[in-house]
Structure 1
Amino acid sequence: MTALASCPCGRVNAKKRAVAYADCCGRFVEHFATTPAPDAEHLMRSRYCAFVLARADYLRTTWHNSTCPASFDLDAGAKWLGLEVREHKVTGADTAEVAFVARYRLDGKAVRLLERSRFVREADRWFYVDGDPR
């Protein structure tokens, strides 16, 4: 993905124009060591981008150690179509939840993933813990 391409997470600016990947989730996905996501919503959006871009390294790095599976596979046949963040809720000093809908196509079938994900902040970094599908 080029730096100027629209971010897969679908974020738009105040003028309703798509934000470039480099100015949005790209700064977190491509530079995790130096640029952590500032909150749970940014982390969730950047993790969506990691699915779109098949960046298992970023998904693993941003998954909390207590719940990260020993192995996982990205479905190479999935075509990610869009993301809608429905709610970002701070639930504690270092915890938050993000409710979202992610759409994708797999084997010609449209799929809508509705989830409320839980996140935790440790050492000034946000991590995905788990989620409840809806």
Structure 2
Amino acid sequence: MPDIRRKSHLATAIEDKRGLLAHGDGVAPHRHTDGQLLYPSAGVLATTLAELGRTVGASERTLSRLFRTELGMGFHRWRSLLRVQHALVGLVEGDAVIDTATRLGWANPTSFIEAFTAIVGQTPGRYQTELRRGDR
């Protein structure tokens, strides 16, 4: 498990090169000094490792190694976790499942539903339904 108290080389590279936000655990948002929650750029959500490498000025191999050593997971896993985290926020706010899938860069809603279910343990629709029941 990475130490989330220190800024990783990966986060530093991403922040320094393009102002894209990352956090030591690779997934969680962090709070700006004014208390506002900040999330990684939407470009990070939909990008490939090659595109991210071009953006931050690092090779795919270097980034792949940094994701494994500093975050304990590959880029694709990190990106899926990050996308699902953003999806949770959108679903809580009442966004439609299909709109959420599209906005966060999934190729199709089925891929989104499968990834969401694998990580959260239920479909996005069921998640929203349970939220509504809990609000009553």
Normalized against structure 2, the TM-score is what?
0.27
Higher Rg: 2
- Higher share of residues assigned helix: 2
- Higher share of residues assigned strand: 1
